[in-house]
Structure 1
Amino acid sequence: MIAYVMLGSNDIPTSRAFYDPLMHLIGAEPRAGASDKRVSYAQAGGMPILASTRPYDEALAQAGNGVMVAFPVASRERVEEAYALALRLGAHDEGAPGVRSDQTIPSTAATFATRWATSCVSAISTGPRRSRRSRAYESGD
């Protein structure tokens, strides 16, 4: 349904320092053509694409309040790994891993905002509960 998402950045090297390892964790790699103005990532099928780019109009990238991009991952454990990695890379915590039953699709999600505040991203798993620890999320233990 979505072909690509572009997140504005005023500093592509800093953006890459964050997104390169995070995208690798979820199975996406930088595509050919990365430059000091843009980098894009995709999984093996080529789409959807996440791009971190300087705005085309050359104005400063600014945060879009209420905008969030969620990346699907294979398991709840991978949600936790992505969350921990994002925080180590300098992201701000916007919601620790846990069941989000108030969402349209009940899921385990972790939300983190990049420190340069032009985007908010999340890792999400809608897969089955695989461990006792995952069941504890739902009960609040």
Structure 2
Amino acid sequence: MLGYVTLGTSNLAAAINFYTALTAEMGWKKLMGTDRIVFFGSSMEQAALAICTPYDEQAPTAGNGVMVAFHGGSPEGVDALYSKAIELGATCDGEPGERVPGVFYGAYVRDAEGNKLCFCHFTL
């Protein structure tokens, strides 16, 4: 199941304004956010959209800040998906672990083409 899709931005405040208005048209709302990422959707149990400033602090591009995330179902499920991806030839882009204490557990890989994938579990 799809967890969320991330889009990069160089102006988070403007992107928040845009996506707040746009996603309201779909019945979505701002679900959570930090100083560099904000999630929009109907709930954290459904597919969501995230907007963020790229983690590497480089300019966002069509591929920088873009990531597909998949629900793992539990921290153990995240670990299993991460291990399977590595087994299948993906490269590590962030070992499994708690990213936002008490809220978010995730792991990151890149496939053979360099596409960034996340396996995640939310405890909200």
Q: Shorter-normalised TM-score: what interval?
A: 0.3 to 0.5
When the two structures are superposed, what TM-score results if normalisation uses the length of structure 1? 0.41
**Which structure has greater strand proportion?**
2
When the two structures are superposed, what TM-score results if normalisation uses the length of structure 2? 0.46
